Structure 1
């Protein structure tokens, strides 16, 4: 299903590009580093990749609007001591490890301001649609177990700030930080937020 969704959006971007001389179309990919917070307790960071496509509509020499579709994984990692009662003693038998995995199709929409022709700053909202949500638990005695992670909303919202630098007419580098201002957890569950950094390389066809 996610592959069909991705192809349809790519086709839409291509169609828009053919109809407007002031619209550019491209692809991008890079590094994603995310971390989760349960209540106010921050988890260890999780790294992954992202890949996708973009369309930018120029409004003037200084302003533009950009929409993207990306695929990535968010999450975090936690470890807790695992103890057992053996005889009359409480024995530490290792750590119980948890890794949270939220596979998402993301649709960032931003307003861009060109400080100079090669450098722009942006602000916008990233709409994250969960394709699957899993939690993986493991320890050296019971092995690894993966199950559905039911606490998370189907759609998440991440406000972001970013910047882009054009290396030349085709290639660019960009980075943005998606803030954890809005909870991703469902009502009546453990409060949970996710923030993440994205940085990578892109190519514009036009």
Structure 2
């Protein structure tokens, strides 16, 4: 597994290096990640976070290009359960117990792009998500927040996606993409877990 992680990182780094030594364009980007997590078919509350990273694009023709990125972000979900206690013969609601699932990831999205017009393109691809750490954060009205390891998560996750990009000018662009929850993100088959997420942000390409 460590070899797979190293290979993915080396591929991403080599892509960036090639971007500086060829006719590829190179830039940076950042924005907003909104993820949705499912246990079985039960959807958890959405989790929002930021993403930041680098992007390289190689034009194949006036209409087609390939793009590779290296991003850092966090995925996950939230859920709450009522916390009750028996006081005498009465069940008393003590507030909610809150759980937040956190998957800190280095992501390597690889995509094929089609330009409808010079400034507007659509993309399809695969995002390789490499978990750096996985945690469960618990909190309630009466105790301090605590973090524990989130056991069972796969180290490497795959997220197919569709997206679009608009170039404001030669340097600045905006883009958005949705990653589908087709592939399970945990090792255990007892609790099937899937994550889908939206990313939207802005970027800058160097000349």
- Aligned mates of 2:190, 2:25 — CA distance in 1: 42
- Aligned mates of 2:87, 2:73 — CA distance in 1: 43
Where 1:111 maps in the other structure, the secondary structure is strand
Equivalent residue runs for 1:23-62 within 5 Å: 23-62=24-63
- Aligned CA RMSD, in angstroms, stands at 2.0
Where 1:172 maps in the other structure, the secondary structure is strand
Partner of 1:103: 104
Q: Is the 8 A contact 1:13 1:25 kept in 2?
A: no
1:186 equivalent in alignment to 2:169: no
**188-197 or 29-38, larger mean C-alpha shift:** 188-197
String of CA shifts for 1:24-72, please: whole Å, max 9, x gaps.
1110000111110111111111110000001111111100000000000
**Out of 10, 14, 17, which is 1:15 matched to?**
17
Where 2:152 maps in the other structure, the secondary structure is coil
String of CA shifts for 1:161-192, please: whole Å, max 9, x gaps.
00000000000000000011111011334111
Q: Is the 8 A contact 2:70 2:108 kept in 1?
A: yes
- Aligned mates of 1:145, 1:14 — CA distance in 2: 38
String of CA shifts for 1:74-106, please: whole Å, max 9, x gaps.
011101111111111211111000011100000
Equivalent residue runs for 1:166-205 within 5 Å: 166-205=167-206
Where 2:17 maps in the other structure, the secondary structure is helix
- Aligned mates of 1:134, 1:14 — CA distance in 2: 30
- Aligned mates of 1:14, 1:134 — CA distance in 2: 30
Q: Is the 8 A contact 2:164 2:177 kept in 1?
A: yes
| Structure 2 portions without partners, runs of 5+ | 1-6
What number of residue pairs does the alignment pair up?
A: 202
Equivalent residue runs for 1:75-114 within 5 Å: 75-114=76-115
- Aligned mates of 1:181, 1:121 — CA distance in 2: 20
Partner of 1:155: 156
1:144 equivalent in alignment to 2:145: yes
- Aligned mates of 1:27, 1:56 — CA distance in 2: 11
Partner of 2:66: 65
